[in-house]
Structure 1
Amino acid sequence: MKMNYGIVFLFLLFLAGCKPEVDKPVSIKEDVVFLSDDTLEGRQTGTDGEKAAAEYIAERFKNLGLEGKGTNNYLQPFTFKPKTNPHQKVNYNVVKGDSTITGINVLGYLNNNAKTTIVIGAHYDHLGYGAEGSLHRGEKAIHNGADDNASGVAVMLNLAEKLKEKNTNNNYLFMAFSGEEMGLLGSNYFVKNPTTDIKKINYMINMDMVGRLKADSTLAVYGVGTSPILKQTLRAHNDSFKLIQKESGIGPSDHTSFYNADIPVLHFFTGQHEDYHKPSDDFEKLNYQGMNTISNYIFEVISDLDNNGKLPFRKTKNESEDVPRFKVGLGVIPDYLFDGKGMRIDGISEEKPAQKAGLQKGDIVVKLGDTAVVDMMSYMKVLATFEKGDTTKVIVDRNGELVEAKIEF
C-alpha cells in the first residue's frame, strides 16, 4: 500500500529541513508538532500515517548518531491479527491477507560497550480517525494524540540527545512502540522477540502522556516498588514536582510488558484531561516548559543510578486487581493525581449523569449516596454498588462550598 501524497509531502519537507543542520538540536515542541500533524491522520497502527511517523523517528535516531537495533535497521515490524474479544491472546506472525495488521517498533541504540542496557521508551501510535478507545461522540475526525503520545516520544528523543557521551556505565536502547492503543502489542512483541539480550536490560523507563504538567506541577511515577533504590533516588532529585509515587509495575502502558519480564520499571505520567482520546488533543495545549523539566528530572535520575550496577528486581502488588467492576458511571474524567480528600473531577462527558446533574470540572466529590468519598478507591467502591436506573444524591466541594445534586444513572 502506497502512502498518500499529503504524508509523503510532509515527510519530504521534514527531511529537507533537518538534513542541512544535522548538528542543530530539534526541540521537544518541533517533534510534537510533526508527530501530531493532521497529515499523519492520527498514527493508527498499520496505517500510512504510522509508517510516516516511524520513518520520522528512525531519521531522528540516525541524526542523533544512534545505531539501528531493529530487525530491519531501525525498524522492527510485526504482523498480527487483531483480537475479536478482550480475553483473546494476540496472534503474531499470521498469514498475510487474513485481516492482518503490521505494526512497526522503532529502535535506536547508544552503544557504550557496557554490560547492561537501559530501555527508554514511549509509544507513538494513536487512534487514527477514532479507533476503539475513542471518547469522541461527534463526526469522524482525526485524533492527533499530541499528549498521547507524541509528548512521550518527544521527551524520549530529548533524552537521547542528552545522554550522548554521558552516563556511560550503561548502553541505551531508545524505543518507540507501535500498537500500544490496541493492547501494548509492540512492547509485548519486543519482549518476546528481543533484538538485544533481555537478561542484560538493567531497567526500563516509560513515558506516556507527559505533556500536560498542571499548575501544581503534579507528576505521577509508577513502578517505584520494582527495585528498592528507586523511591529514594526519585525523591533525592525532586525540586520541581508535587511527586506522586505508585508502587505497582503494572498499568495501562508499555512498562507493563517489561515488568512482566522481571525488569524494574519507571513510568512517568502528568495525568488525564478533557482531551484524552479525543480529536482536541492537539499540540497547542501542551506544556513544553513542563516537558523540558520532566526530561531534565529523568536525566538526573539516570545519572544518579549510573554507578549502581544492575538494579535488583522486586515484584509489586497489582493495584488494578483491587479495582471494583462498574455497571454504571457518572460520566466524568477523574483527576487521578489529586491527593486531597475526595475525588476531583477533571472533565465532564456530554449527556451523561454528571453533566445532567450540573456537576462541573474542578468539583470534588465528597459523598455519593450515603457513603463518604475520601479518595479514588472509596469512590470506585461506592460507584460499583449502583445499577442502571438507580437515583441517588451526590455532594461536591465547589471552591470550598458544599453543593448537593441528584444523580440518575
Structure 2
Amino acid sequence: MINTAARACVFVLSFVLPGSAAIVLAQESLATLADRSTVELIRQDIEYLASDDLRGRSVTDDTIDLARDYIHRRMESLGLDMSLAQGDGLQPLQIEVGSAIKTIESNFIELKLPGQAIRKVVYGDGFSPLSIGRDSASAKGRLVFAGYGITSEEPAYDDYAGIDVENAIVLILRKEPGANDPESPFDGQRNTRNAYFAVKVQNAIEHGAAAVLIVNDPDSVQEAVKDEQRRIGLEEQRLAELEALLTKLPAEAKRNIAATNESIQRTRDSIEAIRRDVENAKRGVLDLPDAGTQTRQSEVIPVGSIARDLVDELIRSAGKDSLEAIESKINATYQPQSFVISNDGTTVSVDMKPAKVSSDNVIGQIRGKGSLSDQTVVIGGHYDHVGMGGFGSLAPGTIAVHNGADDNASGTAAMLACAKRLVERLSRVDNHRNVVFIAFTGEERGLLGSQYYVEHPVYPIEQTVAMINFDMVGRIRDNELTVYGTGSASEFEGLVDEANQDFSFDLYKVASGYGPSDHQSFYRAGVPVLFFFTGLHNDYHRPSDDFDKIDFGDLGRITDMVSNVAFRLAAMPRRPVYAETDPRIQIRRQMTAYLGVRISQRSGSVEIVEITSEGPAAKAGLQVGDQIQTVGRREIRTTSDLLSWVRNHSPGDEFTIRLVRDGNSMTLSGKLEKRSE
C-alpha cells in the first residue's frame, strides 16, 4: 500500500529498474504514451509486465508493486479517473501466502558429532524450515544420509535399499542422479517426478522417516547466488536513480522529497537484506516456500533445508568422503551411497505460522453521465502471477522466472487497451453507465482481489450490471475465441454474436458464469459476467509462458471486439437480467495433439472423410469411410465429441478406437502425436 503522499512519486518508482528495452516504456511521459497505437501499447505493456525484471509478479515479491505502479500510471495516461478506493485508485488487501517462522529460537537443528559437544544450528545460520512439511513439530532420531531419496522401478534405483530409516532424521539430496548427463537412465537432462520435493518427502515418510533435511545441489546453489547478486545490482541501480532524483527536486516539493527519502532508505535496507540472502544462497539453504506447499502426505513430518558445508562436515565426521565426492560417485555410477551418519540422536525443530502480505487492486474509471450514471460496468483482469515458481507452478522443483506473458499480462494489457477505446467512444455519449477498470491482485491465490472488491465495491454491487473479465487472451489458435457467461444474462449471447460480426471469430460459447477466474466472484454476487479466453496451453504456469509467444495481431482483434461489447453494455438503455447457470464447467484447452483425420457427421454417425499420410490414425490402420463409435470409454456421436476428446489429451497419449468398417465392428489402437505449430 502507498499512501496519498507517496502517490505523487509513483512515476518515480515505476522506472527504477533501467537497463532493458521492456522497462524503457515505464520512463516515458504520459503525452508520449497517449500518441502510441493500441496494438503497440499492448505489445509494450506485455513486454514490461512479462519481463524478467518483474520476476513473475508474485504477491510475495516486491516486484508486484512495480507492476502495480506501472498499471496505475498507464491508467492515468489513458485519462481514467484514479480517485476511487482510498482516493488514489489503490485498494489494499491482506493475502495469506503460506508460512513464516514464529521465532528464530524455535527453528533449529541440534547435532551431536563424535567427540564434540551438542551443536545447535538455527534459522538464518545454516538451517531453514520448509513450508512443504509440518508447521510446528519436533523430531529426534538417528541421522541417516539417503542419497537422492529415490525409490524407482524404472530405472531400477533405490536409495533406501539396505538402509533402515525408521524414526530417523533423513538427509536427502535435491534433484536426481545424472542431472547434467544426457545419457542418464532417468530422463537425460530433464527432471522426472523422482526429482520433485513432494515425491522425495512422501517416499521418506513411506520408509518411516521422522524428519527430512533437504541438501541443495551445486547447480541450483550457483543459480541462486547469481539471482541474488543480480537483485543487488538492480537495487543498486534503483538507489542511484533515486539519489540522482533527490538532488533535482526543488526545495518546496517537500512531499516528494520525503517520499523519495523513504524510498532510498527502503532500498538500502533491501540491499542489506539481499546481501544476507547471498550468504545463505552460497551455503545452499533454501527459503521457506522453495520446496512448495504442504500436501496431505507431506504435512505429516517436519522438513527443512540444511547448509551444504554442514552436511559436508557431518559426512566427513562419519569417516566418509566429502559431500561433493559422494555426489560425483552416485552421478557417475548410478549406484546408491546411503549410510548412517550418527546414532547419537539429532533433533529437528520447526515452528511456523501463517504469513500475510499486503497487495493492491488498481482501480480507474470513466464516470457515468445522465440517467444511467447510477449503474456500473466493471472490466477487469488480474496482474499477479506465480513468481519464480513454487506455489501455483506446474513446473515442480523449478526456480525460474514464470513470466506469465499470457497469464495474465495479456489480459491486463487488453483491459488497458479496452479502456483506451472506451475513453474515446464514451466521450461522445451523453448517457452511459460508470465503467470501472480493475487490475486485480491475488487471483493466483484464489480470486482474492476480485472477491475483496465484491465485498468492498467502490459502487454498490447491486448497481453493477455486468462484469467483463480478460484472462489469458494472448494466444488464439484456429481462430477460436472462448466466451464464458453467455447465459449469465438473457441478452449476452446475442450481444456477443452481434459484436463478432465484424471480426468473424469462431466463438466457443459457454453459458455458465462460473469458472476459475475473477468473473466468478462477481457472478456469485449476482452480477452477469462475460469471460474472454483463448484456452489453456502447455506453457500455462510454467517459465515458458513468454512474450515472444503472444499473437499481438489477434489480441488487438479481441480487444476491439470486446470493446464493442463493453460499449454496448455501458450505453444500452435496458439493464441486463441476471440468469442462473450450471456451475459444472470444464476449462477449455487448446488442441496440442492430433489424430490425423478429417471427419464429417453423416447419417447419425461420425465418419472419416480424409486421413493424413503418416499420421497417428494412418499408423493405427484407420481408413476413409470408417465410422467411429467410441474413443476409449467415450461414445462418439458428433464431430464435437471427437474433437473434444483430442483437445483434452496430450501428445504421446494412447488411444483405442472402436469403429464400423463395411458393416463389421473392429477396434484399433495407436498413439497421439504433437500437433505442428
Please classify the TM superposition score into its range, dividing by the shorter chain length.
0.7 to 0.9
Q: Work out which of the two has the higher radius of gyration on C-alpha atoms and give 1 or 2.
A: 2
Which residue matches 1:318?
583
The residue type equivalent to 2:416 in the other structure is: L
Which residue matches 1:157?
416
Shift of 1:22: 4.5
Which residue matches 2:126?
none
Which residue matches 2:168?
none
Which residue matches 1:49?
63
Q: Deviations over 1:41-94 (max 9, x none)?
A: 00011421111000000001111111222325121111132478899xxxxxxx
1:145 correspondence with 2:404: yes
Q: Deviations over 1:184-215 (max 9, x none)?
A: 0000011011122222212000010000011x
Which residue matches 1:105?
361
Q: Deviations over 1:235-276 (max 9, x none)?
A: 122232000110101001000000011001000001111111
Which residue matches 1:21?
32
TM score, norm. by length of structure 2: 0.47
The DSSP-based 3-state class of the residue aligned with 2:436 is strand
Question: Would you say the 8 A contact 2:389–2:398 is kept in 1?
Answer: no
Could you tell me how far apart the structure 1 residues matched to 2:295 and 2:449 are?
17
Q: Deviations over 1:122-146 (max 9, x none)?
A: 0000010113221124641100000
Shift of 1:368: 4.9
Could you tell me how far apart the structure 1 residues matched to 2:629 and 2:404 are?
32
Could you tell me how far apart the structure 2 residues matched to 1:155 and 1:366 are?
42
Could you tell me how far apart the structure 2 residues matched to 1:8 and 1:265 are?
38
Could you tell me how far apart the structure 2 residues matched to 1:12 and 1:370 are?
51
The residue type equivalent to 1:225 in the other structure is: G
The residue correspondences of 1:262-277 to structure 2 (distance < 5 A) are 262-277=526-541
Shift of 1:393: 6.0
The DSSP-based 3-state class of the residue aligned with 1:319 is coil
Which residue matches 1:394?
655
Could you tell me how far apart the structure 2 residues matched to 1:251 and 1:67 are?
30
Q: Deviations over 1:103-129 (max 9, x none)?
A: 211101111331211100000000101
Q: In the superposition, relative to structure 1, how do residues 395 and 130 fare at CA in structure 2: closer, same or farther (>3 Å)?
A: same
Question: Would you say the 8 A contact 2:382–2:412 is kept in 1?
Answer: yes
The residue type equivalent to 1:222 in the other structure is: Y
Question: Would you say the 8 A contact 2:390–2:397 is kept in 1?
Answer: no
Which residue matches 1:136?
395
Shift of 1:405: 3.6
- Which of 61, 64, 80 does residue 78 from structure 2 map onto? 64
Which residue matches 2:208?
none
Q: In the superposition, relative to structure 1, how do residues 61 and 406 fare at CA in structure 2: closer, same or farther (>3 Å)?
A: closer
Shift of 1:18: 3.3
The residue correspondences of 1:165-176 to structure 2 (distance < 5 A) are 165-167=424-426, 168=429, 169-176=432-439
Question: Would you say the 8 A contact 1:210–1:268 is kept in 2?
Answer: yes
Which residue matches 1:226?
488
Which residue matches 1:203?
466
Q: Deviations over 1:127-173 (max 9, x none)?
A: 10113221124641100000000000111100111111424411110
Higher relative helix content: 2
Q: In the superposition, relative to structure 1, how do residues 260 and 139 fare at CA in structure 2: closer, same or farther (>3 Å)?
A: closer
Could you tell me how far apart the structure 2 residues matched to 1:201 and 1:211 are?
27
1:237 correspondence with 2:499: yes
The residue type equivalent to 1:231 in the other structure is: E
Question: Would you say the 8 A contact 1:234–1:301 is kept in 2?
Answer: yes
The residue type equivalent to 1:229 in the other structure is: E
- Which of 237, 243, 247 does residue 511 from structure 2 map onto? 247
The residue type equivalent to 1:234 in the other structure is: V
Mean Cα deviation higher: 238-247 or 65-74: 65-74
Q: In the superposition, relative to structure 1, how do residues 246 and 371 fare at CA in structure 2: closer, same or farther (>3 Å)?
A: closer
Which residue matches 1:78?
93
Question: Would you say the 8 A contact 2:390–2:398 is kept in 1?
Answer: no
Shift of 1:376: 8.3
Question: Would you say the 8 A contact 2:97–2:354 is kept in 1?
Answer: no
Could you tell me how far apart the structure 2 residues matched to 1:27 and 1:396 are?
48
Could you tell me how far apart the structure 2 residues matched to 1:204 and 1:38 are?
31
Q: In the superposition, relative to structure 1, how do residues 37 and 7 fare at CA in structure 2: closer, same or farther (>3 Å)?
A: farther
The residue type equivalent to 2:567 in the other structure is: S
Could you tell me how far apart the structure 2 residues matched to 1:15 and 1:378 are?
42
Which residue matches 1:389?
none
Shift of 1:302: 2.5
Q: In the superposition, relative to structure 1, how do residues 406 and 229 fare at CA in structure 2: closer, same or farther (>3 Å)?
A: closer
Could you tell me how far apart the structure 2 residues matched to 1:228 and 1:86 are?
42
Shift of 1:23: 2.8
Shift of 1:311: 1.4
Question: Would you say the 8 A contact 2:25–2:44 is kept in 1?
Answer: no
The DSSP-based 3-state class of the residue aligned with 2:482 is strand
Mean Cα deviation higher: 228-237 or 20-29: 20-29
Mean Cα deviation higher: 41-50 or 148-157: 41-50
State the number of aligned residues: 348
Question: Would you say the 8 A contact 1:33–1:283 is kept in 2?
Answer: yes
Question: Would you say the 8 A contact 2:23–2:48 is kept in 1?
Answer: no
The residue type equivalent to 2:50 in the other structure is: S
The DSSP-based 3-state class of the residue aligned with 2:445 is coil
Which residue matches 1:8?
16
Q: In the superposition, relative to structure 1, how do residues 334 and 219 fare at CA in structure 2: closer, same or farther (>3 Å)?
A: closer
Which residue matches 1:259?
523
Could you tell me how far apart the structure 2 residues matched to 1:65 and 1:86 are?
47
Could you tell me how far apart the structure 1 residues matched to 2:475 and 2:424 are?
30
Could you tell me how far apart the structure 1 residues matched to 2:460 and 2:88 are?
17
Could you tell me how far apart the structure 1 residues matched to 2:48 and 2:530 are?
27
Could you tell me how far apart the structure 2 residues matched to 1:59 and 1:222 are?
30
Could you tell me how far apart the structure 2 residues matched to 1:86 and 1:61 are?
40
Shift of 1:99: 1.2
The residue type equivalent to 2:80 in the other structure is: L
What's the C-alpha RMSD, in Å, of the aligned pairs?
A: 3.6
The DSSP-based 3-state class of the residue aligned with 1:43 is coil
The DSSP-based 3-state class of the residue aligned with 1:166 is helix
The residue type equivalent to 1:108 in the other structure is: G
Mean Cα deviation higher: 142-151 or 110-119: 110-119
Could you tell me how far apart the structure 2 residues matched to 1:27 and 1:369 are?
47
Q: In the superposition, relative to structure 1, how do residues 370 and 250 fare at CA in structure 2: closer, same or farther (>3 Å)?
A: closer
Which residue matches 2:47?
33
Which residue matches 2:375?
116
Could you tell me how far apart the structure 2 residues matched to 1:35 and 1:184 are?
20
